[in-house]
Amino acid sequence: MGIVAGLDSSPEFTRIVVCDADTGAVLRQGYAPHPVEGRPSDVDPQAWLLSLGEAAGGGLLEGVQAIGVSSQQNAVVALDSQGNTTRPAMVGGDRRAQVAAADLVDALGGREAWAGAVGCVPQAAQPVTKLRWLSKSEPDAAARTAVLLQAHDWLVWQLLGRPVRRTTDRGGASGTGYWSAATGAYRTDLVELALGHQAMLPEVIGPAEAAGTTPEGLLISAGTGETMAAAFGLGIGLGDAVVSLGASGSVMAVHPEALHDPTGMITALADATGMHLPVVTTLNAVRTLRGTAELLGLPDLESLSDLAMKSTPGAHGLVLLPYLEGERTPNLPHTAGTLTGLRREAMRPEHLARAAFEGMLCGLADALDVLRGRGVEVRRVFLLGAAAELPAVQASAPSLFGAQVVVPQPADYAAIGAARQAAWALGTSQGTLDARTPPAWRGAAAQVLEPGEELAVGQAVRQQFVSVREQTHPGAFRA
């Protein structure tokens, strides 16, 4: 079929991969940082175009027939009626919008009302919340806002030469807070609730549809958010979950239908294939390990892992509830972490190190169980993030999660997922692929870890954690 490209515009850089359209083999790559300092809350979207041009330099895209675009989620690009930005793009987990999130929850009648309307409860990072902040803090810019796009929508629109038609995909739309994955429709009343007036929203097109063709004949696929693109690049399907270990953690899984969770712990996203991607987020993952390493005077997480491996499963009775920043899963925003089980023989650095790893992983296992409790099948867990390579994580994760754990080799999975989407749209347009079946690319190279004989031990450690959590925060997971 030829070659395709996927570009991923993350918060800090643009990365491009050029792939064989039939196999997914990466043929060449490009990279460039955005020309901005740090990770500001406001960014001129032209910076994304500048780094895109730099990353594509040197003839990187020569011979490419189609491009897919992945980009950071939750960015809002507000345009006036002429297509110009009314202010810089609002990006990232914007703390300015925390009060706006609470206002929106109250304005619609509570968390359950939002979960029923669009499958999620407003958080500070979400576009709908940023619109509320904009209307309250910058009313002039809000009043001039006529069109709302996300980062990947805007990049696709720019690549196509700014046509009259503006598009998005199900995955990106599902994270806005004003599109429902369950109904497949916008809730324009929620846009008005947040922004103060209606605005034009991009057309949601199918996973294998093309957004358009450039004047040079280059096909541009629908694009999607980074989370959906990474899942597509990994090749996950039914029975697979992805646990992402950042400072905070997230657990997502492929499911055939949208989940309605009245507690708001599940965010009902759509994926890049026509399926659904329910996500559960924890506030405390690798930050738990970093805090413990600092407490013990260790220079890095590798040293903490080495120390933890000198302990044994269960950490001699030490249990750490790792709610250092409060917690979203369970919903305990104002709580703190708890360390229990202190006995003289347990008061050694290696046992605290072990308890930190087990506490982090048990918190993520709680998030997995939220999905399992709603009928989501989990046979394999893909473990992502630099911390997934640590021996203390790999020694405990399979038995604590109660599933096979897959640790993929580091790769640009969001860019690869964008390229796979481009290949799908190209094949569909040429009649060589079915719009219901994406191209069968090779799966990610990975290390596979089985629970094996450690399963019973791991489940005992998990039960110890659950007992402490229930004693300390009784009923935290009840709806």
443 is written with which tokens? 């799966």
Q: Where are the beta strands (DSSP E) in 246-312?
A: 249-253, 266-270, 276-282
Residue 248 and residue 297 in contact, taking contact as beta carbons nearer than 8 Å: no
Contacts of 68 (CB under 8 A, 6+ apart): 4, 5, 6, 7, 220, 221, 222, 223, 224, 229, 417, 418, 419, 420, 421, 422, 423, 425
The answer to whether the peptide bond before residue 330 is cis (omega within 30 degrees of 0) is: yes
CA–CA gap between residue 449 and residue 461 (Å, rounded): 18
Q: At CB < 8 A and 24+ separation, what contacts does 297-305 make?
A: 301/387, 301/390, 302/390, 304/353, 304/356, 304/357, 304/392, 305/353, 305/357, 305/390, 305/391, 305/392, 305/393
Four-point Cα dihedral 338, 343, 345, 346, nearest 10 = -10
pLDDT in tens, the chain (479 residues): 699 999 999 999 999 999 999 999 999 999 999 999 877 889 999 999 999 999 999 999 999 999 999 999 999 999 999 999 999 999 987 778 989 999 999 999 999 999 999 999 999 899 999 999 999 999 999 999 999 999 999 999 999 999 999 999 999 999 999 999 999 999 999 999 999 999 999 999 999 999 999 989 999 999 999 999 999 999 999 999 999 999 999 999 999 999 988 888 999 999 999 999 999 999 999 999 999 999 999 999 999 999 999 999 999 999 999 999 999 999 998 999 999 999 999 999 999 999 999 999 999 999 999 999 999 999 999 999 999 999 999 999 999 999 999 999 999 999 999 999 999 999 999 999 999 999 999 988 899 999 999 999 999 999 999 999 999 999 999 75
121 sits in which H/E element = none
Angle at 130 between CA 126 and CA 134, to 5 degrees: 170
Residue 263 has a pLDDT of 83
Indicate the pTM of the whole model: 0.93
CA–CA gap between residue 67 and residue 150 (Å, rounded): 18
HSE (side-chain half, CA atoms, 13 Å) at 268: 25
Which DSSP state fits 385?
S
CA–CA gap between residue 468 and residue 463 (Å, rounded): 9
DSSP line for 97-110: GHHHHHHHHHHHTS
84 is written with which tokens? 């110009």
Residue 171 has a pLDDT of 97
Phi, psi of 147 (to 5 degrees): -135, 140
Buried residues in 344-365 as b, exposed as e (16+ CB within 10 A): eebebbbbbbbbbbbbbbbbbb
64 is written with which tokens? 């490419």
Query: Considering Cα of 387, then 391, then 393, then 397, what sign does the dihedral take?
Result: positive
Residue 94 has a pLDDT of 74
Angle at 137 between CA 136 and CA 142, to 5 degrees: 75
